[in-house]
Amino acid sequence: MKNLRIFTGTANPGLCEQITQRLDMQSGSLTIRNFADQEIFVQVKESVRGKDIFVIQPTCNPGHYHLLELLIIIDALKRASADRITAVIPYFGYARQDRKDQPRVAITSKLIANLLTVAGASRILAMDLHAAQIMGFFDIPVDHLSAVTVFVDHIRKVCPKDTVIVSPDTGGVVRARQVAQALNANLAIIDKRRPGHNKAEVMNVIGEVEGHDLVIIDDMIDTAGTLCEASKALIAKGASSVIACATHGVLSGEAYDNINASPLKKVIITDTIPSDRKRSDKIEVLSVAPLFAAAIEKIHKGESVGELFRE
């Protein structure tokens, strides 16, 4: 794989290091710095002419900065005559605005797709997009990874066999059902409504939860307010314990305080976004580096990425 090179921005260099270690290679050399007014400067410090390039950069907080940094890195690589540039975006920010559900609002996920394409990305490699239809916003190939296999393996090791899998809303049923089927477990669904951004009210719990250990499966945790309210509602319904698994630990605002004060026994996230585990003993982080390393190798060799998810 001498023609393969992997670069990273400043958003999550730790994940890049784990991926390159898995592939037994070093990450590429970039200079990234800021002018006095915080304008971003990027220079590729090695020849990439004719190379197959992968750029690892989640667009996590501050999302606007990390997104612009990614775009500038891609542009620099394109102008340095890279053969193919794959944007590896473990966490795809601005994805929650994926449709025009209110008057005069932007569809930011489509906008970001356009920006990445214009910048020079040849392909996108992402994980657990907020909505599957976002793949259709791109006019370039998109490989969509899922952390379901990572969570399934972990749940098998630490949870009782009669654990019930819970979807936090109707939109997450497909993801939760995948986990439930892999574990041969029962499924429950929380019926909720959103009166505003980062706010949710639990209306009903569909399924049998009384006397069971529960695992909530979600794609992301932002302020954790919704998740903590859900855990309270499930305990009120007679659940023995509640843990949560979410791919992206955004953990903004009062998220850590909310988790610490909640009845949640454990919150399991992945390392798509860097997190401060010292702020909560309840948080456990699983690595998705092996999955990304395997996907990068398969894409580089022209092999099927779908084989990673076959049972």
DSSP label at residue 35: -
Active site residues: 192
Strand stretches in the chain, DSSP E: 4-8, 30-34, 40-44, 52-56, 84-89, 123-127, 142-145, 164-167, 187-196, 199-206, 213-221, 241-249, 266-270, 283-286
Helix/strand/coil for 305? coil
What are the tokens at 155? 């749940």
Q: What is the largest CA-CA distance in the chain?
A: 61
Contact between residue 69 and residue 42 where contact means Cβ atoms under 8 Å apart = yes
Contact between residue 89 and residue 59 where contact means Cβ atoms under 8 Å apart = yes
* Residue whose entry in the numeric block shows the structure tokens 């606007």: 64
Strands 213-221 and 30-34: unpaired
Cα–Cα distance for residue pair 93/108, rounded to 1 Å: 9
Reported residue count of the chain is 311
